[in-house]
A and B are shown apart, each in its own frame.
Chain A
Amino acid sequence: MSLPFLITAIVTLFAAAAAMSLRNLVHCALSFVVVFAGLAAMYLQLGAQFVGFAQILVYVGAVAILIVFAILLTRSGETPNQAVIAPGWFYGIAISAVVFTMLGWSVLNSKTLPKEIAAAPETSVKNIGDVLMNKYVLPLELIGLLLTAAMIGAVIIALKEPSKTDNAGRKS
């Protein structure tokens, strides 16, 4: 394990724990952003540039803002008084540990899992682009079409301005 990996791993795990246990929801959301950034850093260390950048672009840039806005628009600023750790936490941890062991055991002993780990393929952004544009061009274009349609639809919904009259009887 290299030093950069250790640093990002510790920061990411610490932030993940903070995201679960902090009282203030906005603090949780901000710790979550750190988790996203840490994951992106891990992808970059693994040489997956495209996935790393997409992670930052989508999760840090968009999903985090969405979460934060959702918190702001739905909650008052007060933090809840009750403890984060509920009385049943011991059973929860025990059950999740059992489930995790079961899953891990079955995955490790699975016959479909190749015993020898294949050498990582050389993936550059160029390769991903080539594959997307040749083999997977139809799904890519369908997704692109869907997203563009959604965007134009949003604009069309916003275009219609219902003419309201305010208290003084003026058209606004």
Chain B
Amino acid sequence: MFDQLDQIFVTLKHLLMGYVPERWQPLVSAVISIALIPVIFPGLFSIVTILERKGLGRIQNRPGPNRVGIPFTKIRLAGFGQFIPDGVKMLTKEDIVPRAADKVVHFLAPVVMLIPVLLAYSVLPFGKNMTIADFDAGVLFFFAVGGAVEVSVFMAGWSSRNKYSLLGAMRAIAQMVSYEIPLILSAVTVIMIAGSLNLSEIIAKQNHYTAGIAHWYVFTPWGFVGFILFLIASLAESNRTPFDLPEAESEIIAGYFTEYSGFKFALFFLAEYLGMFAICTLGMTLFLGGWTAPFACLTWIPSWAWFFGKLLAFVFLFIWIRGTLPRLRMDQLMNFAWKFMLPMALINIVAAGVWHFMGADSLRWVYSGGILAVAYALLGRGLMNKQKLGKRTYRYAE
């Protein structure tokens, strides 16, 4: 029975395909699979915006949105209806294009940004047998389309003819290029150990249990370090606090989308959140076993439930970090990427190699973990050395 529940969406689709003439089946099947992505994930986006506002409100000791419920009734749903008026507001706002702006590029930028983000979803596994395009080179595809986002950021920043937009775009591109390296290098360890670029196969490699505990890669020394590196880099890639310099509203207003309003702004907003979900899903797939259960006794829960549960847990973590940490400075951001994340990711590859070649020897925990601990300590010392850390002194504010 649980198996049926697990495969309910796959079975439903097969049932539906039974009513379609055979000639049209490949096309209809593709359309159904594709159409679900722009339905489910923007839906998740609208719920997450409320969760984020309420979560930040909770952290900042205020209630957050709590008024809007079901219209014409007194039911408030604790404010969870808020995303509907928000959406209507976004759609009906005036679309302002600056007079000096490059009209065509200004119009294309939000569209160009959304396309690669949606494309990235085609390789992600949402559950058992639930991947739209199961490429051999899924990981490669994901990073390839991710690289296209930078072009659209530049388009938005440059076409607005606004110094804040251009500054924001420059910051965003510099940040994305810098953090892409540790992001990919930390993913490389998983590809090395799993021996595959196919995301379904990477999950299959993690989907077995010893003493009731799953063989997720995060439970190994290199996997743990890789996961932390991936998490930090994915925060930076999705422009979330503490790496939200590209849009830092107190410094450069809203960065590259300063000059966007109405629906185009909504598209940027949507692309940003969909990008965040996609990169969370990739991190989950690489290190946390994708849709698999952490303990053997919990495998009866459907895989898609695990998927969305883990995704929401990730999003919660991101909201929590946003509510807790202050924004970094530009030089701190770059220093952190190039002087800490990059060496650590390279050493992590060495540690993963040691882990792989020591085979089943349990000493590999000591060696692999030891390399990483020593590297962490030395790198940390090296970076702290020249900094004079102590009580903060203000140059102008006193």
Contact = CB atoms under 8 A, between A and B. Distances in A.
Contacts of B305: none
Contact of B386 (A27, A53, A57, A161): A161
B174 to A, nearest CB: 9
Interface in B173-191: 173, 177, 180-181
A117 interface: no
Interface stretch (A7-15, A59-67, A108-116): A59-67
B148 interface: yes
A68 B158 CA distance: 10
A78 to B, nearest CB: 12
B135 A49 contact: yes
A50 B136 CA distance: 9
Interface in A52-97: 53-54, 56-57, 60-62, 64-65, 68-69, 72
Contacts of B144: 53-54, 56-57, 60-61
A26 B136 CA distance: 36
Given A49-B135, A57-B140, A126-B136, A33 B151 contact: yes
A60 B145 CA distance: 9
Contact of A27 (B105, B339, B346): B105
A45 interface: no
Nearest to B349: A148
Contact of A65 (B105, B151, B386): B151
Interface in A115-172: 124-126, 148, 151-152, 154-155, 158-159, 161
Contacts of B145: 56
A65 B173 contact: yes
B148 A56 contact: yes
Interface centre among A27, A30, A60 (most CB of B within 10 A): A30
Interface string B82-96: 000000000000000
Main secondary structure of the interface of A (DSSP, over half): helix
B147 A56 contact: yes
Interface string B129-170: 000000111001101111110110011001000000000001
B154 A68 contact: yes
A150 to B, nearest CB: 12
Contacts of A64: 151
Contacts of B343: 155
A33 to B, nearest CB: 6
A44 to B, nearest CB: 10
Contacts of B252: none
A49 B137 contact: yes
A155 B140 contact: no
Interface string B63-94: 00000000000000000000000000000000
Interface of B: 102, 105, 135-137, 140-141, 143-148, 150-151, 154-155, 158, 170, 173, 177, 180-181, 197, 338-339, 342-343, 346, 386
5 shortest A-B CB distances, which residue pairs?
A61-B147, A56-B144, A57-B144, A125-B136, A125-B137
16 contacts: A24-B102, A33-B151, A49-B137, A56-B148, A60-B144, A61-B150, A62-B147, A62-B177, A64-B151, A68-B158, A125-B136, A125-B197, A126-B136, A152-B346, A155-B338, A155-B343
